[in-house]
Amino acid sequence: MTRPGHSPFFWISALIAAAWWVVCAGAFGYLTWFGPVPTAFVKHLLPETIPRSVWFWPAPWIVLVPLASAAVVFVVYLVLARLIVDRTDGSRVARFLALWFVAVLTGFLATLPWVISAIISAFPPSRAAFVLDPAGDAMLLSGYWGIAWGWLPALLALRRVREPAAALEQGTDAVPATVATGPFRRYPLAVLSTVAVVVLVASGLVVGLGSRAERLVSAAENALADGNTLGAVPDPDVPVTPPPTVAPDAAAAPAGWCTPEDTAVLLGDPDAATGHRTVSIQAMNFSDLPCTLNGYPDLAFADQAGSAIAVTLVHGGSFMTTDDGAQPIEVPAGGFAVTRLGWDAMATADVPATYTLFSALYPGLDRGSWPITLDIVAGGKVSVTAWSLSGATD
């Protein structure tokens, strides 16, 4: 006979499960990072209930994420215990086994926020068959936690229950009031289930926000380690969109114009005056025949992640450059032509700055590139002069 009044302190068992969930995660992280115990052994003894990387996340997520995970374990365990254990025959053994089974189910379900967050972060997958790959074996490990340790909260909770043996032997429903009325016994199962769903969703948001904060911090640390201190660190969650290989809508060049088959494009050294900048680009005709250039080079800019930066190009001179205007020039064999970029110093705080400069002799050719750090930022304006004949040292 089912006797709901004989249910153990579900909330005590749920609290123990939630606390042990976090303890196992912390112990796993410590032993695998700093301990002398082999990782394979630790995985069998203390399953990784919370990814160990969480213990290195920035504040406050290093605290909020484990607390959110523990809250999920608590409410899910509580709901499943109310749903399953009350339907046992009332014996201590049956309730013990039922609570152990509840811990196994809780382990699987409590990992859902992590699994969903990982899938969303890696979406879209390269192939539909790989959509679940980011989740890895998280659910299996957390389910194993319930198998390995689910007996502990069940045993400790049942030890707190002091039911008169005579009452059980006689099959009466009379039990101590402290057993029949726990803190959560007065709430309907539907209410607790709703709370569990809310906590799962909230935990998923906390995990997602914490994971994003960790990615941003890691991106900033990696940029600093690489010496990339100019401009904003690119958002690691934004896909890289490099400049087009060829300028769009470019007209075909007339015969006799310089091409990459006979002309090399070389980057000069930057120069600066107070508040002003310039850098030159040279075209060297390495063939045995002259070739023609007319107009302005094709330019593009990219940040440290390789994404294109929107920069306004102005044909003309600047404080440090002079433009004679577009006109056909014949670059002799072994000769040089030059174009110069000029701009005013730009504020680089919190905006993408240039880490790669792309160039072609003119629009329609494949762009080459050079790694170079310049204070040319998104939304900035750069003046560029037309090609003109030059000496090799210009």
C-alpha closest to that of 68 among 55, 50, 53, 80: 50
Per DSSP, the residues of 286-333 read -SSS-EEE-S--EEEEE-TTS-B---EEEES-BTTB-------EEE-T
C-alpha closest to that of 63 among 196, 204, 198, 210: 210
3-class state of residue 110 by DSSP? helix
**Pairing mode, if any, of strands 336-344 and 368-377?**
unpaired
pLDDT tens digits for 322-379? Answer: 999 999 999 999 999 999 999 999 999 999 999 999 999 999 999 999 999 999 999 9
For residues 76 and 199, what is the distance between their CA atoms, to the nearest angstrom? 9
Query: What is the reported pLDDT for 235?
Result: 92
pTM: 0.73
pLDDT along the chain (394 residues), means of 10: 48 91 91 81 85 90 93 92 78 87 91 81 74 74 89 82 45 41 57 86 90 92 90 91 90 88 94 93 95 95 96 94 93 95 94 96 94 94 95 56
**Pairing mode, if any, of strands 276-285 and 271-273?**
antiparallel
Q: What is the DSSP letter of 37?
A: S
For residues 311 and 149, what is the distance between their CA atoms, to the nearest angstrom? 59
CA within 13 Å, CB half, 303: 27
Residue pair 186/98 in contact by the 8 Å Cβ criterion: no
Q: Nearest-5° angle of CA 128, CA 49, CA 75? A: 95
First to last CA, the chain: 98
> CB under 8 Å to 184, separation ≥6 — which residues?
10, 11, 78, 82, 192
Residue pair 300/243 in contact by the 8 Å Cβ criterion: yes
For residues 257 and 59, what is the distance between their CA atoms, to the nearest angstrom? 59
Query: What is the reported pLDDT for 177?
Result: 37
Residue pair 63/56 in contact by the 8 Å Cβ criterion: no
